[in-house]
Structure 1
Amino acid sequence: MKKLVPVLALLLSACSSPSLQGIFAMPGDAAVDAAVADAAAEIADLEPAAVDPTPPPPPTARTVDQFDTTTAEDRAEALSASQDVGERALGSTIASLGSPTDPGIWLKTPLVGEVIQGRVQYPDNGKSINIELRPSGGVVGAGSQISLAAMRLLEAPLTGLPELLVFAN
């Protein structure tokens, strides 16, 4: 019992701590409402993350056409790839088909450390597309994953492991 008294005293003294005051606040409390409003304003001021506007495939998708939800405009933009003067070669990679439920035109590769825009070329047929380059977190040489839409635009075999040349814009 003697050991319990100091512990209880310590716990009760913590109740007056400013960090615990919110636990006991009542709804409609002006201080709580002001804190919530301030937090909401800070969140609204944050720069929005890059969001891929391509919708995910429907849960009932079964065919390649159903999984590829890119628009004709997205495909036309990707196909307008041309070699830029400021473009730099990042290297080559062997790519496998990424998750068909992950929409968009992208390549997850260890050749980049952050999301950037770039271009990939499929040397077997000379096709080249503009693409979003996403970091895979792997080590260079570990291979890459490419979106279903990108594989289709490159006319690469969906079940193959194409070697791609990767460029950063």
Structure 2
Amino acid sequence: MRWIMLCVCGFGLVACDMVPQWAGGDRPATTVAQPVDDAGSGSETDGDTPLDDDTELEASEPELSTGTLGRTVASLGNAAEPGLWLKTPLVSAEQAGRVYYPDTNRTVDVTLIPIDGPDTAGSRLSLAAMQALGAPLTGLPEVDVFAG
């Protein structure tokens, strides 16, 4: 009986590291250390990787928006998706921002998430953000969006 309990406990500990993301198992990505060539012999692969050339890294980073981004019509986004976020075509990269609802004079800090579409297209606001703003869940409130 002891062996069975040890096996069950062992499998339970192994399974703790396999929690799916939807159940709160969002774990930070692990990195593997790359060996460093201390001899400085200059192998053939020097400079061929994107991490070796800073200009390639800078070119691949999206530009973050700043200041007032504009006014958008916000509908209720996926209610099962937690957090304070606004999916909007007003940004080209995920970043921190604020949303202001003039009807209730409330502001909430959100994560701005880019979506495809013209700047005049509508946006999707999280359930928690709609509630924090005091906006009607079944309506289409107009909100002002700010970056930063």
Shorter-chain TM-score above 0.5: yes
More helix by share: 1
1:80-99 alignment, distance < 5 Å:
88-99=67-78
2: CA distance between counterparts of 1:143 and 1:92? 9
1:149 aligned to 2:135? Answer: no
Structure ID, larger Rg: 1
Question: Runs of 4 or more off by more than 2 Å in structure 1?
Answer: none
Match of 1:158 in 2: 137
Match of 1:117 in 2: 96
For this pair of structures, how many residues does the alignment match? 87
1:45 aligned to 2:24? Answer: no
1:124-143 alignment, distance < 5 Å:
124-143=103-122
Q: Identical aligned pairs, as a percentage?
A: 52
Q: Deviations over 1:112-131 (max 9, x none)?
A: 01110000000111100111
Q: TM-score, length-normalised on structure 1?
A: 0.49
1: CA distance between counterparts of 2:124 and 2:77? 5
Unpaired runs of at least 5, structure 2: 1-28, 33-65
User: CA offset at residue 45 of structure 1?
Assistant: 1.6
Q: TM-score, length-normalised on structure 2?
A: 0.56
2: CA distance between counterparts of 1:115 and 1:136? 10
2: CA distance between counterparts of 1:44 and 1:103? 24
Let me know the Cα RMSD of the aligned residues. 1.4
User: CA offset at residue 44 of structure 1?
Assistant: 2.9
Provide the secondary structure at the position in 2 that maps to 1:149. Answer: helix
Q: Deviations over 1:121-148 (max 9, x none)?
A: 0011110011100001121111000000
User: CA offset at residue 103 of structure 1?
Assistant: 0.9
2: CA distance between counterparts of 1:153 and 1:125? 10
